[in-house]
Structure formats: structure tokens, C-alpha cells
Structure 1
């Protein structure tokens, strides 16, 4: 199927010449098989195709997400081995480079809006051919994740972390300004809908491979295949506005099967079909949120944290968020069940400042700064919940293992030839921070 899709573009020889070094940026950001990750068979097929075209070297690169490192205690090398990707790539004639510690080059971002410079992987920058091998999934932060979002995995952990704000989609487009892929291949064999792009998404068997020579156009077509308006995908809209490629399907030539033939209406993430306040204020009987002047990211994270706190009922919680939250003179929670979330609330003045000072003096409650309120902030929250006895470390570990086993069991039914390769489980102490449903590489 990979060869057939690329042949519709004119064949692999249009992109890969004899003696070239091909770099394939895959999407394996977390320790779970498809649909969370690109199928190892698809990856191997792309490697074989490039080798058959005369490439002297074919390198598959990836760097797992900050969430995978902090929340799941995993490394890129370990994930590649456990999922069988390393073996499949090497058997196909390729090699693996983990971007965690690869040499990087400080590059200018031409026309960058948020990123003006990036520490870019040298192996990607110098490649003769760059292939964007991505999955077809929904994503709580970006609606979909395909070719554009896949390049988030090229960044350093620091750049990934600070990308998770309300300007995430602008930053994703900035990454493309350094170098666009020469060839985009979308693994839609087993896609994902719902609260993706991680382990809380729902598998969608599509049996589909897409290929394109422009990442914006490919993502636009992919969004339409999933039943979404391409202009509802912020990164696609912003990239098209920056003249990086077309988002209007009328301006895109589609070969092979028509979009209408394969289209299926994917369930969007929970926060894309209802207002976020539906999941933040008044949603959990024991969680009282006081929010004002907060960005969309803090709204989203408050919704996800609210789910977690909701499970600790009957404990009553107060969560204060934003640059100007209004709080009652008497909170409905005990001081130790009060959380001040994010940089803005941690610096707010007036009654919120008095509340913070009271918590500091009492040495109760949790003041959790962070912008964005991502893994380090969530790590502190998780530690605090254990500290006050709201949950236990064993409960959190059992939940992690249960979810992983559930993902493994499902994929075994899809591909009976697959078994995870044995690797030592990461130490429990190496995992810090998590919120149900949250993930972005």
C-alpha cells in the first residue's frame, strides 16, 4: 500500500535518488502500539522503498514526548525497542537515531513568529531527503495530528515543553519554516478518534495509506477524510495563510480513491465539540473552580485535572486559575485541598495573593506555578495528592500498567504477529506527573 500511494505521486524515484541519505521522521511519541504509534510494518515498508530506489542510507528518527519521559518514565530508545520498531527498521535495511541526545545546530527560523531560532537536529537538516511519516489521529490540543504536528518531535524537550500554550499551532508552523518534508506518508491503517493522540483515543480501522508532496495539502486532505473542515484545524489554516501550501481542497489534486469514498466522520476530542467551560466550572460536585483571565491551555488543563480530583470525592477541592480569578471570602474546601494553578494565579494580586500567603504560612495546599501548566506542574500535583493521602503511588502505578496492558491487548488482536519485546520496566520514581486524557509530544 505504501508503494501504491507513492506511485500515485510519480514514484519514489521522484523523491529519492541513488546514493542519497533519507531521513524518515516517524511518529512514535509514547510506549503504545498503533493507533498511538505508526505501524512498524508501515515504517519498514517506507525504509524498503527508499532502499530499493538506491538510497545509500535510510535513517528513522524520533524523540518521544516530554510526557512520555516525565509521566511514563520512558526513553525513545526503549520505546523503539519495546514496540518492535527498531528490529523492523534494521531488518528492512535502515537504522534508528533517537533525537534525545543527537547533535543539534542552532538555526534561524525564517519569518518565525514565536520561534526565531531552534536547536534543530543536524541529521534532519543535512538529509538529502526528508520523509514525514505520520499517523492519522485526533488530538486534544490541535484537533488532528498528522504531518505538521509530527515535526514537534524534532524539538528539544525544553522547546517541546514551552510549546504547549495557546500559541502551539503558530509554533508548529514555525518549525516548518526551517525545512518542509519532501514526501509525506500518512499511516491510516489503524487511525484514532476521540481524546487523542495518546492512550485515551479510540481506534478507527481505516486500512488507508496517504502520500503527498506538500505537508499542508496532505493534512488538509487528511482532515477532510476524517470528516473535519481543514480550516477548523488551526495549524493547517495558519500554514496556508503563510503560503506554505493549500488548505482548500479545490486547489489540491487528489489521485487514487476520492476523499468521499474513504471519508469517515471521526469523533472529535471532548474539548472540540463543546465549550471548555462545560468541563471546568460546575462539572464535578466536589471540585470548585475559580477561574478568570486564563488562556485556553489552562482551561484545558483545569478540565483534565478536574477529572482527576473528581475521583477523590467526597473531598472538596478549590482550584484557582488565571491572572484575575475572583474567589469567595470563604472557600468551600479545606486549605490542604486548595490548589493555585499556573504562573498567572501564582502571581495574582488582591484576595488571591492573601490566599496564597495564608497557604504558605499554614504550609498547606498546593501552589503550582508553570506556564504552560504541563508536566512539571502536573508532577507536583501528583506528588501532592500522594502526600496528603488522596491517592497512593501504588494506585497510580497500577493505573499506568492497566492502560498499557489494555493498549497491548487490543493491538495483539489487530496484529497477532506482534508481541512487545522484553525490556526492563522503568523505575516508578522516574515517572512524575499526569492528567487523565492529556498528551502532546
Structure 2
């Protein structure tokens, strides 16, 4: 069996994902053309087909935070190449984030939608095109999977992810980008350690025939909400095996595929190649592109003085959601002038007191921590509970910002069950 091929194209790209001219559009198209041509026969793949292009448009204002979404120049290049290759239709769709439809997200981005249309693409919102429950035999946790009609009606899926680290999953590349196919009402379950199994279950049904990874401006550290841009990565990676593309991209970030849980599971399930030695890398020399990306920190204890976090038996779902919220609050200066609060996350100890000391008001984060509110009921004001398994990343963020500006909370009466804040 032939080794999967991943093509790398790289040279300096001037301008930025948010402010660019025709000059860098042409340069990026040349890079994408070079990478795609080196890994597949695009006309043979796309001619006469209805193609769904799946970029990463999570909260898709490209200015905030910078570089967190697929570079528009890469997306336009992919759409144009598909039309030139004879695709009958090129659809562009994504679910940009929990509670936000694509049409709502793009409401203030008229120039973006106009340019996509001019390139030959049709934007589709998964929330509005309908969906269907698809059986998923052999799934770990996700059977059936409700998938958007735009995907099921398309002949070909082309994946256009972004090169980023991720607080929850270490990296978010091609395989993780498929999570944007999941409908809102199925998005939050198994969003704990088992999110990796859930994403691999999506891959079983949604196998991209081509992945074109945008690594022009990458993102490192506390991504996706609070990471920092790597503005000179200047690389496009392309291949027909999404796991192979992710393996090569992660290596360029200084991360081994064996460190990425979803890639380990995908390899175990025979869904793609994750052994770097078994992948044929062509084009630009990876040795000249490799960086040591700042890695995300998921732990919350001791991160910020204003929120004294005690971690019990917490899984990555709660830790990731809470760390996202803390980083976002800190980045906005929301801790300034506030009295410290204590926050407990995870399962309390079963036979011992889990919290001997607390500073200020007590918050219990997630379903596992809720019993601690019973233990502390009656000890000064009742605890505030942020429910969920796990809570959404914005739940504590919103609740904390809703506190009285003096830094004090007005606790809600404790009713015998966790109360929404």
C-alpha cells in the first residue's frame, strides 16, 4: 500500500489575514495550488461534483481573536481551485460555535460573504439546511450522529482547518475541525475527556477526501480564545489522509502525534496514518519550518489570584471550560478591583472534608462539585453553582461578570439543588 502523501508549501506571505490586497491573495493561491497539486489530482477528485468546503469559522470575526479562524485568503483559494477543477457547486459551511448560527455570525461580515460568492462559493448554515440522524456502527460514544443535510447531499468533503493549539485537546487541526459538523443540540455531551472519542466517531462518517491546512498565521498557547498568533509560520499543508496531515502539522508545532489523544484513537481504529515515518512528506523541507509552539495550560489552580481554584477529581471537560473562562476574564481585565472568590471543581473527597479554607464567596463549578454546596450550606452565604457536565466555557465567565461591581456577590437562596447563575 502506498504511503499517504502530505505536501508542504511555504514562503513569506506579506500582509495579514484581516488586511490584505490582491497581491497576497495571488501569493496564497499559488501556495495552495502548489500544495494541492503535489498531493492529489484535483480535477479527477472534484469535476462535476457538489463539494462541501468545511473551514474553521468558530466565532468567525477574523479580528477577534486574531488568526483563530481559517484565513480568508486560503478559503478563497480553495473555493477558486475547486471551481477551476470543474466542481458543479462549491458549498461553504460550518457550525461556528454553541448557540450561534453561521448566518448570525456572518451578519456583520458582508465583505467576507461577498468575496466568497465572487470566488464561486455558496455559504450554507448547518442550522438552516436541515439534518439527519446517521447510524454509526462501531462508535465509541456517538451513535447515531446528526449531520447537516449539506454534508449528506454533497459528493465530496474538503476540509480547510486552522493550525492551532487547544486548551482541551492540545491541538485543533483537521480531525478536530470536523467537530464543526455537529449540530448544537448534540454539541456539549461527551465534552469531557471523552471528546476525543466523540470527534473520532464523527470522523468515521465524515471522511474528508482532501484536507488543506492553513498555517499562514498559526495560534499557540491558550487557544482558541486566549492564544497568541504566530504570524510568520507561512505554511500550507495538504493531503488526502486527514490524520497524516494532522501528524505532519503537529510535528511542525513541536508536538508528536502520540501526544494527541484523538490521533491515537484514530490510528487505533484504522482511520488514518499517524506514524510520521510512514508518511511521504513532499515540497518544503519540514526541518526548516518546525517550531516549538507554546503549549496550552489546562490547570486552573493558582492561575489568577482573584479566583482561588481548588481542583478535586476534575476531568479535562470542566478544567478546559473553566480555564477558557478564567483566561478570557483576565484578558479583559475583569479581575481588577474584585475581592477574591473560591471555586471548587471536580468530585469532592467522599469521606473527608474537601475544602478546609475558602476566600470570599464559594463557587461550585460543574455537576461533580455540586455536592460541596450541600456540605457548606449554612456556613455564611450559600455557594453559587455553575451546572453542567461540563458547563459551557462562557457559563462562569457570564456569571462572574454579572457580580456586583464592588466585588461582592448577592448569593441566590440555596434550594436543595444547584441553582443556575
Output the TM-score relative to the length of structure 1: 0.77
Matches for 1:161-176 after TM superposition, within 5 Å = 161-176=188-203
Q: Secondary structure at the match of 2:233?
A: strand
Matches for 1:401-420 after TM superposition, within 5 Å = none
- More off after superposition, 185-194 vs 29-38: 29-38
Tell me what 2:222 maps to.
Answer: 195
Q: Does residue 313 of structure 2 align to residue 296 of structure 1?
A: no
Quote the Cα distance in structure 2 between the aligned partners of 1:131 and 1:373. 32
| C-alpha contact 1:370 1:377 (8 A) present in aligned 2 | no
Q: Deviations over 1:52-95 (max 9, x none)?
A: 111111100111111xx4xxxx6422433544331121001121
Q: Secondary structure at the match of 1:137?
A: strand
Tell me what 1:342 maps to.
Answer: 366
Q: Deviations over 1:341-385 (max 9, x none)?
A: 21111135xxx5231x437xx7744122211122473266236x4
Quote the Cα distance in structure 2 between the aligned partners of 1:7 and 1:332. 60
Quote the Cα distance in structure 2 between the aligned partners of 1:22 and 1:128. 6
Quote the Cα distance in structure 1 between the aligned partners of 2:190 and 2:72. 28
Quote the Cα distance in structure 2 between the aligned partners of 1:298 and 1:241. 26
Identify the match of residue 228 of structure 1 among 237, 255, 258. Answer: 255
Q: Secondary structure at the match of 2:188?
A: helix
| C-alpha contact 1:318 1:333 (8 A) present in aligned 2 | yes
Tell me what 1:409 maps to.
Answer: none
Tell me what 1:353 maps to.
Answer: 374
Output the TM-score relative to the length of structure 2: 0.80
Tell me what 1:332 maps to.
Answer: 358
Tell me what 1:129 maps to.
Answer: 156
Task: Give RMSD over aligned pairs.
Answer: 2.7
Quote the Cα distance in structure 2 between the aligned partners of 1:193 and 1:75. 26
Tell me what 2:105 maps to.
Answer: 79
Q: Secondary structure at the match of 1:371?
A: coil
Q: Does residue 351 of structure 2 align to residue 319 of structure 1?
A: no
Unaligned runs of 5+ residues in structure 2 are 1-30, 410-419
| C-alpha contact 2:322 2:393 (8 A) present in aligned 1 | no
- More off after superposition, 319-328 vs 163-172: 319-328
Measured after TM superposition, the shift of residue 14 of structure 1 is 3.3
Q: Secondary structure at the match of 1:200?
A: strand
Q: Deviations over 1:212-260 (max 9, x none)?
A: 0011111001111112111111111111111111111111111112321
Q: Does residue 114 of structure 2 align to residue 97 of structure 1?
A: no
| C-alpha contact 2:339 2:408 (8 A) present in aligned 1 | no
Quote the Cα distance in structure 2 between the aligned partners of 1:160 and 1:391. 34
Tell me what 1:437 maps to.
Answer: none
Quote the Cα distance in structure 1 between the aligned partners of 2:279 and 2:233. 22
| C-alpha contact 2:94 2:180 (8 A) present in aligned 1 | yes
Structure 1 pair 316/265, CA: closer, same or farther in 2 (3 Å)? closer
Quote the Cα distance in structure 1 between the aligned partners of 2:89 and 2:183. 24
Q: Does residue 75 of structure 2 align to residue 43 of structure 1?
A: yes
Measured after TM superposition, the shift of residue 141 of structure 1 is 1.1
| C-alpha contact 1:286 1:313 (8 A) present in aligned 2 | no
Tell me what 1:371 maps to.
Answer: 389
Measured after TM superposition, the shift of residue 203 of structure 1 is 3.1
| C-alpha contact 1:164 1:374 (8 A) present in aligned 2 | no
| C-alpha contact 2:36 2:238 (8 A) present in aligned 1 | yes
Unaligned runs of 5+ residues in structure 1 are 393-431, 434-441
Q: Secondary structure at the match of 1:131?
A: strand
Quote the Cα distance in structure 2 between the aligned partners of 1:358 and 1:319. 17
Q: Deviations over 1:282-306 (max 9, x none)?
A: 4544543343222122234444555
Quote the Cα distance in structure 1 between the aligned partners of 2:394 and 2:105. 22
